[in-house]
Amino acid sequence: MSYTSSNSFVPRMKASVFALAAILASAAPALADQSSSSCLPADDVNHTQVLNDHQILFYMRNKKIWLNTLQARCVSLPIQEGFSFSSAFSEYCPNTETIRVVRSGEVCKLGGFTPYEKPVNHS
């Protein structure tokens, strides 16, 4: 039987299992937050809705809705006629891709995507 350092009597195999479990446990929060760092395929976007100068809803063909919070305010976005997107990868990727406001030409950088559910109207 071999032993780990510090005079521990834990067999090396068990120490390896504990180390692997610790690594996976520390990675769990990053894996859970993966949805906000994933790219949206441009072909799967049905339409978008500008909420204000820093938030855009992306309506997907599969009926899911994603909220993108831009990295900074995009002042002309809510008062213009939409935005255009140009990328070699045909995906909307958070924190890397930019959009261009149609009339003003203002360039704005996408932020993270988070799942979005429309508020229920109890009228």
pTM, whole model, 2 decimals?
Answer: 0.68
Task: Please tell me the distance from the alpha carbon of residue 50 to that of residue 70, in angstroms, as a whole number.
Answer: 11
DSSP structural state of residue 75: T
Region at 63 (left for phi over 0; alpha for psi -120 to 50; beta for the rest) = left
| pLDDT class of 13 with cuts at 50, 70, 90 | very low
pLDDT at 9 over 60: no
Helix (H), strand (E) counts: the chain: 1, 9
Per-residue confidence (pLDDT) for residue 115, from 0 to 100: 96
pLDDT of residue 123: 65
Q: Which amino acid is at 41?
A: P
Residue with tokens 């976007």: 45
Q: Does residue 109 or residue 24 have the better pLDDT?
A: 109
Of 74, 31, 33, give the one whose Cα is nearest residue 56: 74
Residue 69 has pLDDT above 60, yes or no: yes
pLDDT of residue 37: 65
